[in-house]
Chains A and B, each alone.
Chain A
Amino acid sequence: MTKAWGLTSEHLLRELAPQVLGAITRRFRDFASAEDAVQEAMIAAFTQWPQAGIPDNPRGWLIQVASRRMADQARSEIARRERETTVAREAESVTPMLDIDVDMDPHDTLILLFMCCHPALSSSSAIALTLRAVGGLTTAEIANAFLVPEATMAQRISRAKQSIQNSGVPFRLPLPEERTQRLPAVLHVLYLIFNEGYASSIGVHLQRLDLAREAIRLTRNAKALLPDNAEIAGLLALMLLTDARRAARTGPDEELIPLDQQDRRLWDRAEIAEGLELLTPALSKGPVGLYQLQAAIAAVHDEAERAEDTDWPQILALYELLKRVSPGPMVTLNHAIAAAMVHGADQGLQLLKALDADARFADHYRLAAVRAHLLEKMGDYEAAIKHYRVAAAQTTSIPEQNYLMAQAARLAGH
């Protein structure tokens, strides 16, 4: 007996991936090979289930196919491809194993998340491995999302696993103390996946895998596993409160529309409501962290019916808190914008001066862009044009560059 393949089936399959990987890793005590085997089982399922239907025990099916693969490990990419074809054929004869669910450990997804976001990894490696091992995505999908060749992405993932193997980290949940210490790295990786997705979700890249939604899904799962952690709730709220504005942030020609000019009727009310619902209890739970504060700022924006209704004094107060919790040039910059909105552009410009001394940030386009914006508010159009042009030359984003050049051209036409 099988069920038909439907829209939710793909989702189900992805949710099963970390569970199956947990079972295989514990059974064979080899995370790196288990991860390859599960990837192959996933590809076999993606190939067969849409035609043959979903097996009665999909988890058992995947575990069995992956277990078989474990016997025959591959080293080269070519061998891997050949095997995938074989698996697809072999898998047709798989019979469900009924005792398979004894392998289930509810912590598996969490263990894997900590493992893939290991501090020994660079962020790009951690992102790729997390998407594959925890997110259940295929290498091809991840490669496509980051616009790199599949072989390159496969190598990146395999190197990441090698680093984890070399670090000798055991396959178990980190102890509570270690968990607290390592959670920020996990949250950072999830945040980066979201950012990558949100940033690329316009124009030519629309057909790419929706990484922002994947990040929300993974963070939602992490929150379910660590329900008492206020920062995970804060991160999920931040993602939802930001993603809610997605439809309003670009115009018909894919041009960027800044927050104060967006058509707020296009904002996703359901996402905003969910974000707010998550945030309120999180803020009352112990020390307020970086993500909760950013989510709180996003919430203040989202709650304003019109741009001019924005409660800037509250945003300024939140940035002052953020400066203490997580100081950095980007926070200083945003703090200066909030200060300008509350106390006037000249005060904002004063605060920006602190960033000129920061060698790593002095050439950042955002500094020039904000300075241009504040100079324009002061009525100094000539200086504003100059800084808009500097910012346009410094950015590596095409939509951002178009926006900045348009601002300079608008003022030049005055």
Chain B
Amino acid sequence: MKYILMMNTMKAGQGVLNWQQKELQAHIAFMMNLNKDLREAGELVSAEGLSFPDQARLVRAGKNGVPVTDGVFPESKEFLAGYWIVDVDSPERAYAIAARVSAAPGPGGAPLNIKIKVRPIMSGPPPEMP
């Protein structure tokens, strides 16, 4: 079964941009290692990091479907920073991976304990209807 693990962070400027180089490197190494382990375990479907919220645009259809875009939203407190899609044998395994992500090192090398949102990905129907 597939799960998406979503990592939300506080808006830009409050977090990673103020870290020291060593702290950044440790964090990046941690993430690389995690992805390598997931790939080697045969569990990784995909993992992506998203751009900073400055690059985010809100889009909706205007007249005749022409895209109308809107800029950055300073009132938003949380932004999706990245996600993992994993294919695992149980929800418990997805939670364990999420816990590992959550403990990624931050300032001073201490675990960030970021909240990771874990949601099942919709799949095909079960074999038979009642």
Which A residues contact B (CB, under 8 angstroms)? Answer: 122-125, 128, 146-149, 151-159, 195-196, 198-200, 202, 205, 242, 249, 256-259, 333-334, 337, 366, 369-370, 373, 396-401, 403
Contact = CB atoms under 8 A, between A and B. Distances in A.
28 contacts: A122-B89, A124-B89, A146-B87, A148-B87, A149-B44, A149-B46, A152-B39, A152-B87, A154-B42, A155-B39, A155-B42, A195-B126, A196-B124, A198-B127, A199-B125, A200-B123, A202-B124, A205-B124, A258-B130, A259-B128, A366-B126, A369-B130, A373-B130, A396-B120, A396-B121, A397-B125, A397-B126, A399-B125
B45 A400 contact: no
B58 interface: no
A157 B40 CA distance: 10
Given A152-B45, A157-B42, A124 B87 contact: yes
9 pairs of A and B residues whose beta carbons are closest in the complex: A156-B42, A258-B129, A200-B124, A155-B42, A199-B124, A397-B125, A399-B125, A396-B120, A400-B125
Residue of B2, B44, B87, B129 with most chain A CB atoms under a 10 A cut-off: B129
B23 interface: no
A369 B40 CA distance: 39
A36 to B, nearest CB: 15
A397 B122 contact: yes
Looking at chain A's contact residues, the main secondary structure is helix
Contacts of A196: 124
Interface of B: 1-2, 39-46, 87, 89, 120-130
A55 to B, nearest CB: 34
Contacts of A158: 42
Contact of A401 (B39, B122, B128, B130): B122
B129 A153 contact: no
B42 A152 contact: yes
B40 A123 contact: no
Nearest to A330: B126
Looking at chain B's contact residues, the main secondary structure is loop
Given A123-B89, A124-B89, A397-B123, A153 B128 contact: no
B118 to A, nearest CB: 13
Contacts of A152: 39, 42-45, 87
Contact of B42 (A159, A195, A396): A159
Contacts of A124: 42, 87, 89
A396 B87 CA distance: 14
Nearest to A194: B127
A122 to B, nearest CB: 5
A148 B39 CA distance: 11
Contacts of A200: 123-124
A155 B126 contact: no
A374 B44 CA distance: 41
B119 to A, nearest CB: 9
A149 B2 CA distance: 13
Contacts of B128: 242, 259
Nearest to A397: B125
Nearest to A334: B130
A344 B113 CA distance: 53
Contact of B125 (A202, A242, A259, A370): A202
Nearest to A212: B127
A196 B124 CA distance: 8
A159 B45 CA distance: 16
A147 B122 CA distance: 13
Contact of A199 (B2, B44, B126, B130): B126
Contacts of B125: 199, 202, 256, 397-400
Contacts of B89: 122-124
